[in-house]
Structure 1
Amino acid sequence: MSSIKNLFKLKNETVKPVLKEVDTQEAREQIRVTYYQSGYGDSTKALGEPLTLGMSLSDLYNSFEDLCRKQLNEQEILKQPHKQSQEQEKTNLRRSETALSIYEGQLKAKIDDIDRHKFEIMDVKTNPDKYGIDVDKRPKAQFYIGLALLLPITIYLFVFYISASYSSFFKNFEDGSLTAAIFDAEALSKALNDGVLEAVFVGTIPFVFMGLGYLVHMFQKEKGWKSVMKLIVLFLLTFLFDVILAYLIEKKIFDFNALPGESFTAGDAIQSVNFWGIIFAGFVVYIIWGLVFDFVMKEYENVDKIRNFIRNKKEAIRNDVEKKHELIEQIDKLKHDISEIEGKIAELQSKIDGFIFPVKEYLHYHYQYMKGWYQAINSELKFPNKQLDDLREKCEIVASDHLKKLNVSESDHQNVVYS
């Protein structure tokens, strides 16, 4: 056993690598010879008795194990790979915990963003200025009221300008009634009978005025004197067109009622109540339509700004929810990985805290002992061959049972860890 101690001492000495290798080989050869000699001597004394062999092998194992436990430096060398693996796992654990902390922070931020978006969707309807939306704080009902007024006024203007344009350009008057001149229920059908171009001209006249009204709304959005001048020009054009329609209608009525030799002049038109009635029936209603249209469009833009804001917020919520699910999956995976890493660290720690038994080395010495034991039976015992064969067979069973009991027989492991 002193040779085994010398072996471990040789491993701990700081010498040149070549000398250390030579010394270790010499020490191992000395130990091998010592175990062989011990087996030979014990077998000679016990006359190869199998029962004595079992006890001797147990003593051999206990002595070897006790010696290994006392060789702290040797144990430290054997445990070094486990410590390195544990440090690597601890590095992986810190990396995973850092990633987990980052993902959990991102998840909390996403949840806060979702809650904030939901609150803003509800709050923007009452506090649009808070979110940079410049809208009038008026109830939405005014939009629908304005729309309800705009529709019948639009129908009126269509009827008026179709009838008035047909009367002024194409109609042959059969009486001098002003009402019949302005409002002709069959104006469009009569224009169609006169020709396609006449029908197109009469049918599209109202759209010209609608377009002028739309331009008035658009120019009002602009600021400055240029916008004011554009508005003045548009109103003058509309007024002049209505003046022309009124003049032509009033002239046809005058001509229908005129005596031979009478002629219609601009002065007559200005002095005629019917002339101004036609103008105001068209132009004033057109002004009203333009103001109502402008109001409705502004209200719609106010509502549309809020709708766009809400639409964008809902899209942001959908994106955040998708990102939230991705983060939850990543967090769950990281938690699973962390649990596995902690299990590996605990397993490695149990190996570090435990005792590492060098299986291969013990088997080498065990077989040397058994070789000496069998050699003594063959050389020293003068028994009949049959008795020697039976004795060797029983010793082999005892040696095999000993290794099986230790769970080191036919082992492919270099070392075994006992926690």
Structure 2
Amino acid sequence: MIAQIEEFFNPKTADAPQDENVEIKQPVSEEGEEVRKRTYHEAGFRDGSRNSGSPLALSICLNAIYARFQNEEKELIEKQQLAKEPYITEQKSKETEIKTLVISKESKEQQIAKVETDIRVVKDNIEELKFEINDLPRNPEKYHISASKGASGKFWIGLIILMPLSLYLFTFYISTSYSAFFKPFDANSTIIMNVLDSKAFEKAWHDGSLEGAFVTFIPFVFLGLGYLIHMFGEVKSTGNYIKIGLLLLTTFIFDAILAYQIEEKIYELTKTLDTPEFNIPIAFGKIQFWGIIFAGFVVYLIWGVVFDFIMKEHREKDKIKHEQLRRKKDIQIHQDRIADIETQKAKLIEELNKFKTDSIAAQERVKTLQGIIDAVIIPTKEYVLYASEYMKGWITFVSEKLHISMHEKIVLQTECIDCYNENLKSVGASEDSQNAVYVTNL
């Protein structure tokens, strides 16, 4: 206890870390400070004598001393302004920061609004493209597409007609080519049976692979000629018309050769010693010669016309499908663009939220700083200095003037020191702090 009392009379420089830290450079002379210290010391001695050194009375007196110190500091206008200067500067900086954040926030909000408008525009474009995809087959001219409505129905009707015609041509040319080049004719068979053999395909492959391949692939020659005629007809020009004419002539000559070969075999079956040799004039005079030609060539022409019609209708369908596919690709591009814009929007919202958070934090800081500026800043280092002088006066009275035993004096002094430390704690002072201030409202 004695060591504690001795330590009190030789105190360390102390302050209390509180709401804010600031170093106060008070414009007070050393002489004025000594006078003020002496005043507090005398007040402590006087109050101690009046209250016989009572710890309870000391606690009340210390509260009064703190209130007195507050009033004194409040009256030191220049000193308070000097102490509050850093807070005022920081407050101005925060207010400028808030204005900047408000401008940035408004800018981000405008950017987000623009992005949302862009998203709505792109979504409207997608809906418009979807409508056009559905409307294209019904109203192609509305979209400046030269495709006739109902092309799909004409296409399927033509395809239905083309398929049996193709089967007919396959059957006819397989049979006639086998009869013309490989089949031995029978005098006991009818002309129709000799010309058209229902088992021509099987017999040709039975005779040999060469014969089978020939009769199998010869229909494709005629179909290929028909395809070439269609392709040349795609581009209207004199050269192409000449080519088409030559292809038709070639097809006719091919059919005529088949008919001539068959008719010659039939003629040989009925030939006598007085019968002249078979020749072209004789062939032209035979009705079955022209029947074979027209059964092949005329049907071939019909097949070519139907095929050309189907291809044109398919081209009409392709125009619409092409436009639909193009719009579907545009939709995918728009959807990818929306994803990119959404990512951009999310980034802008994140930045906006940061601006809002920073703005709220800055506003709270401004309020805190304003509270400090409106309050009285109490330099705890100085309060400890003057309060300790007050206590020295109090303890001096107890030590020198109070007539009690030494043990009672030591106990009383210890209790008084405890009251003093409690007071420092209650007002925010601590012996471990340095250059701290305590903010309080009067």
TM-score higher than 0.5 here? yes
Residue range with higher mean Cα deviation, 381-390 or 142-151: 381-390
Structure 1 residue 335 displacement after superposition: 3.6
The answer to whether the aligner puts 1:46 opposite 2:39 as a matched pair is no
3-state SS of paired residue (1:357): helix
Q: Which residue of 2 aligns with 1:348?
A: 362
- Bigger Cα Rg: 2
The count of aligned residue pairs is 392
- Residue in structure 2 matching 1:281, options 295, 298, 307: 295
User: What letter matches 1:55 in structure 2?
Assistant: A
The answer to whether the aligner puts 1:367 opposite 2:384 as a matched pair is yes
Task: Answer yes or no: is the 8 Å Cα contact 1:136–1:302 preserved in 2.
Answer: yes
Structure 1 residue ranges without an equivalent (≥5): 1-23
- Residue in structure 1 matching 2:141, options 121, 129, 144: 129
Q: Which residue of 2 aligns with 1:196?
A: 209
3-state SS of paired residue (1:27): coil
Q: Distance in 1 between matches of 2:115 and 2:324?
A: 28
User: What letter matches 2:334 in structure 1?
Assistant: D
**Residues 253 and 211 (structure 1 numbering): CA distance in 2 closer, same or farther, change over 3 Å?**
same
Structure 1 residue 172 displacement after superposition: 0.6
3-state SS of paired residue (2:372): strand
Task: Answer yes or no: is the 8 Å Cα contact 2:283–2:289 preserved in 1.
Answer: yes
- Residue in structure 1 matching 2:250, options 220, 232, 237: 237
The answer to which structure, 1 or 2, has the higher relative contact order (CA under 8 A, 6+ apart) is: 2
Task: Answer yes or no: is the 8 Å Cα contact 1:35–1:368 preserved in 2.
Answer: no
**Residues 136 and 397 (structure 1 numbering): CA distance in 2 closer, same or farther, change over 3 Å?**
same
- CA-to-partner distance for each residue in 1:96-137, whole Å, 9 max, x for gaps? 224313311221121111111111112211222333433233
After TM superposition, list the pairs within 5 Å mapping 1:327-346 onto structure 2.
327-328=341-342, 330-332=344-346, 334-335=348-349, 337-346=351-360
User: What letter matches 2:134 in structure 1?
Assistant: M
Q: Distance in 1 between matches of 2:270 and 2:29?
A: 148
Task: Answer yes or no: is the 8 Å Cα contact 1:360–1:414 preserved in 2.
Answer: yes
The answer to whether the aligner puts 1:186 opposite 2:199 as a matched pair is yes
3-state SS of paired residue (1:146): helix
Identity %: 29
Superposed CA RMSD in Å reads 3.5
User: What letter matches 1:365 in structure 2?
Assistant: E
Task: Answer yes or no: is the 8 Å Cα contact 1:351–1:417 preserved in 2.
Answer: no
Q: Which residue of 1 aligns with 2:175?
A: 163
**Residues 296 and 75 (structure 1 numbering): CA distance in 2 closer, same or farther, change over 3 Å?**
same
Task: Answer yes or no: is the 8 Å Cα contact 2:151–2:317 preserved in 1.
Answer: no
Q: Which has the higher helix share?
A: 1
After TM superposition, list the pairs within 5 Å mapping 1:96-175 onto structure 2.
96-175=108-187
- CA-to-partner distance for each residue in 1:2-49, whole Å, 9 max, x for gaps? xxxxxxxxxxxxxxxxxxxxxx85737869778756654553443382
The answer to whether the aligner puts 1:376 opposite 2:377 as a matched pair is no
Structure 1 residue 73 displacement after superposition: 5.6
Q: Which residue of 1 aligns with 2:235?
A: 222
Q: Which residue of 2 aligns with 1:390?
A: 415
- CA-to-partner distance for each residue in 1:70-102, whole Å, 9 max, x for gaps? 778654313134234324533542442243133
Q: Distance in 2 between matches of 1:411 and 1:208?
A: 110
Q: Distance in 2 between matches of 1:232 and 1:89?
A: 83
Task: Answer yes or no: is the 8 Å Cα contact 2:44–2:393 preserved in 1.
Answer: yes
Q: Distance in 1 between matches of 2:102 and 2:435?
A: 29
Residue range with higher mean Cα deviation, 63-72 or 308-317: 63-72
Task: Answer yes or no: is the 8 Å Cα contact 2:255–2:296 preserved in 1.
Answer: yes
Structure 1 residue 381 displacement after superposition: 4.8
Q: Distance in 1 between matches of 2:295 and 2:439?
A: 110
3-state SS of paired residue (2:310): helix
**Residues 143 and 40 (structure 1 numbering): CA distance in 2 closer, same or farther, change over 3 Å?**
farther
Residue range with higher mean Cα deviation, 121-130 or 159-168: 121-130
Q: Distance in 1 between matches of 2:335 and 2:435?
A: 53
**Residues 188 and 61 (structure 1 numbering): CA distance in 2 closer, same or farther, change over 3 Å?**
farther
Q: Which residue of 1 aligns with 2:372?
A: 357
The answer to whether the aligner puts 1:306 opposite 2:320 as a matched pair is yes
